[in-house]
Amino acid sequence: MSIARNQGTLTRSIAAHAALLTWTVIALFPVFVIVINSVKSRRVIFADPLALPTAETFDLVGYQTVLAQGDFLLYFTNSMIVTMASLFFVLLFGAMAAFALSEYRFRGNLLMGLYLALGIMIPIRLGTVAILQMMVATGLVNTRTALVLVYTAQGLPLAIFILSEFMRNVSSDLKNAGRIDGLSEYTIFFRLVLPLVRPAMATVAVFTLIPIWNDLWFPLILAPGESVKTITLGSQVFIGQFVTNWNAVLAALSLAIVPVLVLYLIFSRHLIRGITAGAVK
């Protein structure tokens, strides 16, 4: 009886793991192909794209080209600045708006919430022309500020939507205890509520971070200047109309994965860890 049940769970666990593994392989395959090909010589990339690099085919020419290109570090820094700044503002303003929407009763609360969430369904790219005109008018074309502003606007709707759901679940007794003890609303927000919604913040951070880092559209339109190029845009120099330097493109892409990976690892620690335990009940 119990053996039969054990077998049942075993089969089920094998099935679950098989499904997860398949999914992982499918998801990681493109990344894997990019990384292995980035360290192969040009001929082998085309001759046998799926082969692992061997001693003969191993070639770091892509990385050499990319690093020798000189501006690569600059592009990298630009991407980093734009992404981190946008992320910071999305999380800060998103959390504040979510707190206001979930905590305070005021006229138009619901409408305001709907309005702020509407952006999830309407792609910001539809407004590209208007955004470009605005940036031209304010003289922000070819600045990182332009990108930060656009990405903050792009990330806020989802952030507010997710965070306000989570903040509704933070014990109101806890906030009220803070009020009775004389904490200001800001302290309640920063010290009591934010730490409790940290897992949600990490989720939002990951969802916000990746599209910004990978975006090609807005850098191309709003900030194509040499000094403010992001890495995704910078990598495009290797893709020509007639010749494409695949070694360099693949190397640049491989390098571009690293920071997202690092940031993801940082946030995912919080995704798992919850500190609500013991706060209430």
Partner 1 sequence: MGALTLTNVTKSFGSTDVIKGVDLQVEHGEFCVFVGPSGCGKSTLLRMIAGLEDVTGGDVMIDGERVNDRAPAKREIAMVFQSYALYPHLDVRANMGLALKQAGVARDEIRAMTDKAAGMLSLDALMDRRPAELSGGQRQRVAIGRAIVRRPKLFLFDEPLSNLDAALRVQTRIEIARLHRELGATMVYVTHDQVEAMTLADRIVVLRAGRVEQVGAPMDLYKDPANTFVAGFIGSPQMNFLKGAALGMRSETVGLRPEHLRPDNDGPISGSVSHVEKLGGETLVYVTTEAHGLLTLRLFGEHDYDVDSVLRLGFDAARAFHFGADGLRLRD
Instruction: Please tell me whether residue 113 binds partner 1 under the rule CB under 8 A.
Output: no
Q: With CA atoms as reference, report the closest residue to 90 among 211, 187, 219, 6.
A: 211
Q: How far is the CB of 95 from partner 1 (least distance, A)?
A: 17
Q: How far is the CB of 198 from partner 1 (least distance, A)?
A: 11
User: In 3-state terms, what secondary structure has residue 102?
Assistant: helix
Taking CB under 8 A as the binding criterion, the range among 92-100, 144-152, 251-259, 270-278 that sits at the site for partner 1 is 270-278
Instruction: Please tell me whether residue 195 binds partner 1 under the rule CB under 8 A.
Output: yes
Q: How many of the chain's residues bind partner 1 (CB under 8 A)?
A: 22
Name which of 30 and 274 has its Cβ closer to partner 1.
Answer: 274
Q: How far is the CB of 186 from partner 1 (least distance, A)?
A: 13
Taking CB under 8 A as the binding criterion, the range among 39-47, 190-198, 232-240, 243-251 that sits at the site for partner 1 is 190-198
Among 196, 250, 255, 263, binds partner 1 (CB under 8 A): 196
Q: How far is the CB of 189 from partner 1 (least distance, A)?
A: 14
Q: Put residue 123 in one of left, alpha, beta given phi > 0 → left and psi -120 to 50 → alpha.
A: beta
Concatenated DSSP letters of 27-78: HHHHHHHHHHHHTB-HHHHHH-TTSPP-TTTB--HHHHHHHHTSTHHHHHHH
CA 188 vs CA 104, 183, 194, 205, 239: distances in Å: 13, 6, 9, 22, 51
Name which of 139 and 278 has its Cβ closer to partner 1.
Answer: 278
Name which of 214 and 276 has its Cβ closer to partner 1.
Answer: 276
Name which of 50 and 277 has its Cβ closer to partner 1.
Answer: 277
For residue 245, how many C-alpha atoms fall within 13 Å in the half-sphere facing its CB? 16
Give the torsion sign (CA, 79, 83, 85, 86).
positive
Site for partner 1 in 148-187 (CB under 8 A): 171, 173-174, 176-183
> 């807005």: which residue's tokens?
218
Taking CB under 8 A as the binding criterion, the range among 71-79, 114-122, 133-141, 192-200 that sits at the site for partner 1 is 192-200
Instruction: Please tell me whether residue 280 binds partner 1 under the rule CB under 8 A.
Output: yes
Name which of 94 and 178 has its Cβ closer to partner 1.
Answer: 178
Quote the longest CA-to-CA distance of the chain.
76
Give the torsion sign (CA, 55, 58, 59, 63).
negative
Instruction: Please tell me whether residue 277 binds partner 1 under the rule CB under 8 A.
Output: yes
What does the alpha-carbon distance between residue 91 and residue 152 come to, in Å, rounded to a whole number? 9
Q: How far is the CB of 270 from partner 1 (least distance, A)?
A: 15
Q: How many helices (H) and strands (E) does the chain have?
A: 14, 0
What does the alpha-carbon distance between residue 204 and residue 265 come to, in Å, rounded to a whole number? 14
CB 81 within 8 A of CB 230: no
Q: How far is the CB of 190 from partner 1 (least distance, A)?
A: 11
Instruction: Please tell me whether residue 192 binds partner 1 under the rule CB under 8 A.
Output: yes
Q: How far is the CB of 168 from partner 1 (least distance, A)?
A: 15
The residue ranges that bind partner 1 (CB under 8 A) are 171, 173-174, 176-183, 191-192, 195-196, 275-281
